[in-house]
Structure 1
Amino acid sequence: MTVNLTAELTAARILAVIRGTDTAGAIAAGTALLEEGVRIVEVALTTPNAASAVEALRAAAPAGSLVGAGTVLTAADVADVAAAGAQFVVTPAVVESIPEAARRGLPVAAGAFTPTEAYTAMRMGASAIKLFPVSVGGPAYLKAVRDPFPDIPFVAVGGVGLADLPGYFAAGAIAVGVGGPLVGDAASGGDLDALRQRARAYLAATS
């Protein structure tokens, strides 16, 4: 069954972005996030053996959770993550993986920064737009880009700290994607207890 990514992101509000230097660390971080109640996690393909991490997290994920792959650039990347069981894909830019994922029935949060890129990505089959790097312009920029496209679902990604959440939600983001400020060094074998504490704080801020 195809996931309604927009509805899931709107309900969850948080997309955790796991980008590490160690496969086992990425799996441990993803497992901790899922155990703490973060419902949607993305493993970036810059993580070593990322497809294996996606597969492991899919196997361990609680019912109602989603595990996807990020930094998905090519048609070959889409094939790899689909085989690993990814339930959605995320891109950093307007790239060939968008129509390929859509063709396979995998929903895509496509990376874009300008109105033209956002519109183009949606025409290519994206389900939502990952406005990245959103910290360059902040909530005011998100609002400005969204104004002419009220029907495009935007996810604010890139340098989104805990204190930034209210501003992005007020500007119209359906969700925020959070990597470093949430995951820290946990995906590279770092502090999982600190990760769990940050996860609880982010979830509390969206409840």
Structure 2
Amino acid sequence: MTLIQALQDSRALIILRGEFGDQLEGIVQILLEEGFPVIEVAMNSPHAQEQIARLATAFKGHAIIGAGTVLSIEEAQCALEAGARFLVSPHVEETLLTFCREAGIPAIPGAFTPTEIWRAWQGGAAMVKIFPAMPSGPEYIHHLRGPFPTLPLFPTGGITIENATAFLRAGAIAVGIGSALVNPNLITREGLNKFRARCRTLFRSLHEL
């Protein structure tokens, strides 16, 4: 299954940012079981390259593991060496887009203005990450659909379990959700059962459109 197909089915990319220790594989196993196979590890997390390698090995053939907050070619190379299958950035940079295109790796650059969005798409983006999604909210995605009716827009930044569905209704292909769902401190305090319940709630809301 391709990245786009997986996101169209699950309707959310899950962002892991932080240190998860020996809970990492257990967290991703729950995400898979609850319908979220596309996982991004932020490169500004502690031991990000090691986390990507662990997940790429443990869930080969079952999850699509990528790297996020990729700011340079060097970080992109490290992520790919660890086993990342897609790269996400908070910005539009032609050198990174060219690198991904030549490596045959899907790139998801972050953009906000119409000019940035078009530059990202023309540069070969698999999807365009609308960042930050808040506080502009779903209405901004709705307005972007006027000039860009067919572009795969992917809002991230401020997405929560409560507002995620509104972004899909506004025309997003999927949403990116991180600390509102996968907060390492909250998981440590509450345990994996409550984390699973949050995942189930998110999946149910995203598929009640």
- The answer, yes or no, to whether TM exceeds 0.5 is yes
Bigger RCO of structures 1 and 2 (CA < 8 A, at least 6 apart): 1
User: Percent of counterpart pairs with the same letter?
Assistant: 34
Matched residue count: 205
Q: Does 1:106 align with 2:93?
A: no
The amino acid of 2:34's aligned partner reads: E
**Which residues of structure 1 form unaligned runs of 5+?**
none
Root mean square deviation, CA, Å: 2.1
- The reply on whether 1:17 has 2:15 as its aligned counterpart is yes
Preserved contact between residue 34 and residue 65 of structure 1 (Cα < 8 Å): yes
2 CA distance for matches of 1:7 and 1:179?
20
Query: Would the alpha carbon gap of residues 186 and 200 (structure 1) be closer, same or farther in structure 2, given more than 3 Å must change?
Result: farther
Offset of 1:183 from its aligned partner?
0.6
What is the CA-CA distance between 1:53 and the residue it aligns to? 0.8
Which of 89-98 and 131-140 deviates more? 89-98
Specify which of 34, 37, 44 is matched with residue 36 of structure 1: 34
CA change 1:99–1:189 in 2 (3 A) is farther
Aligned to 1:166: 165
Report the TM-score when normalising by structure 2: 0.88
Gaps of 5+ in 2: none
Cα gap change, 1:110 to 1:19, in 2 (>3 Å) = same
Superposed displacement of residue 136, structure 1: 1.8
Per-residue CA deviations over 1:6-57 (Å, capped at 9, x if unaligned) read 2322122010000013554555433432343311110000111211111111
Deviation at 1:188, TM superposition (A): 8.1
Aligned counterparts of 2:131 and 2:55: Cα–Cα separation in 1:
25
Instruction: Classify the secondary structure of the residue corresponding to 1:180.
Output: coil
In structure 2, C-alpha distance between the alignment counterparts of 1:56 and 1:187, rounded to whole Å: 22
Give the counterpart letter for 2:171 in structure 1.
Answer: G
Residues 47 and 103 from structure 1, CA distance in 2 versus in 1: closer, same or farther, beyond 3 angstroms?
same
